[in-house]
Structure 1
Amino acid sequence: MKNQSCESSEDLKKYQHYLYAVVYSVILAPGLLGNLLALWVFRAYVKETKKAVVFMMNLAVADLLQVLSLPLRIYYYLNNSWPFGQPLCMVCFYLKYVNMYASIFFLVCVSVRRCELIMRPLQYNSSRRKWDMLICASGWFLVCVACLLFPLLRTQNQKDKPNATDALDVCFAELPMRALSPPAAWALLIIAELLGFILPLVLVMACTCLTAWSLQHPASGAIPDQGEKRRALRMVLSCAGVFLVCFVPYHVTMPLDFLAKSDSLQNCALRDFVLRCHPITLCLASINCSLDPLMYYFMTNEFRRRLSKHEIPDGGNISRRLSCMTGEDVQSSNSTTEMS
């Protein structure tokens, strides 16, 4: 039976709305400007480099999708009402999870590609580049289909409203969940944790370890330039850092939040603690749309130099300026001037 003493209090709702409104307001401007600027930079380089940039461009698009939904979210959390209708509520709710798991997917792609270009640079040729676009398209398809479960598992009681376009009292994570049998609910949670969190985490950490290992153990076929390896390691470490800061806390609290909202936690103090911690981890997951541009610009000197120019550099200089992101061939790396 539902424990009436553990009902969510009005204070808890005010706390959550205040937290979301503040965090989303803070990340709105830098997330919007940073990702638009990233797309502008990537547009200049995408045809001139090995396609690691393609994954970063798609990562910026995923972040931009979330940023564009933030003004409506801020309005809801400030006014405690959603006057835009249930369909738009579901779309904004859906985009949140599309951004999260698309970001995870493309962070893994960037890490794997940078590690691959360091460990096996000669095996990446023009025929392999064609697969990058297919990987991106497949990733978007899988993420968009899988994330449909999040809005489909939510419902909205419209019995007292003449149509579904009227103002809603609740939206987003406050929408009531549809009833699921315990086996079905646990199966969905386990699949989401394994495919959306644990497997990507293992891949990112493995790429980080392999790239770091290449600095200490030069292998045949790997890029011998230690400076290039260090630049690659910084990029892979930045991907791992964004992953650990933004997505690990959320996926730790997600099963507990599910148990709390399904009234499976009998201890009211524990339930209140989970419901207060989970919004914090959800905000951390949202901050990735502002951290990703920092990764692009401040983990590499090349992007800062690009942004200081008024014109797009000529094709002969692009490879040198983006070597740390795209893993240029050994011959090109050895022939360029050492970057600061």
Structure 2
Amino acid sequence: MAVVRFGEAWPELNDGLTYRDIIRSHDSGGDLSLIKFYSTKHHSSAPLLGAKNGTGGCRGSKMVRLITVDGKVVTDPDTVLRTGSELVYHRLPWKEPYAPHMLEVLFEDDHLIALNKPSGLQVLPGGLFQQRTVLTQLQWRIKNHELCPVPVHRLGRGTSGILLCAKTKFAKTRLAALFADKTSAVANRKVDNEVNKVGKMSKIYRALASGIINEDEVVIDQPIGTLKYPGVAKGLYVASLSGKPALSRVHVLKRDVQENVTVVQVEIQSGRPHQIRIHLSFIGHPLIGDPLYVTGGKPQCSVPETVDETFAEDG
């Protein structure tokens, strides 16, 4: 059977981004200026950068095109904002980092499509990648306005593998429920044989772990929470006793003593962010090539005292 691939080349610049905000009473404090608001709310996304170096942004000519308050263009960055004001910031288009654009179709019918996602391609918009995503390519390919193509789960940008996407709202609801069954079973701490009976959806990955794992099978149930980390606004996901329940089953496929690595197959019965990376590093066998997580399920250079116990939310 012929392999079906699709994908449109990315334009040099994306379409920009629009941020919409409403000033709340706890934001204003009586003297909140426009430039102060954006320096804290969208500090990495730019109107303030030009203000600091005199090249544009809030204090430059771009301000006229970028920001409106209650529908009116604002040119004074020191404008004081009042509670209830509606702000719209039109971020100018930018060139996103490199990402592959071709996708292979593994299965497709009227309700869903299974894709082989390449490493380096983000699934949903976030950070610098607002256009160069799987979602964008799906929307470009399926232009039927009666359909709403959308991925129903995520794979990390650096992870390759099968990605299920719904083409209809009905399919999205049913697939999402199947994925949720496994996670909810783990969260409710059901006994092992009950967990295996919940739902009909499994997520199985293969990975290359550092070191030799002596056991043929390892079950990891370390909770995953978040850690305050520089440059990550909502915190970085890590192994944390105060986190949410997570369960991974690790099966050893091959041990390479000479290279000191182990090929493993991992079935995750919950869908926490970075779960496999965190769990394998937690038991002392970080993924080969992982630039972040080290033994213990924590990032390099992290300080345990910086863990915020209130930060145990999924992204």
- Higher relative contact order at CA 8 Å, sep ≥6: structure 1 or structure 2? 1
Q: With structure 2 as the length reference, what TM-score do the two structures score?
A: 0.22
Q: With structure 1 as the length reference, what TM-score do the two structures score?
A: 0.21
Higher strand share: 2
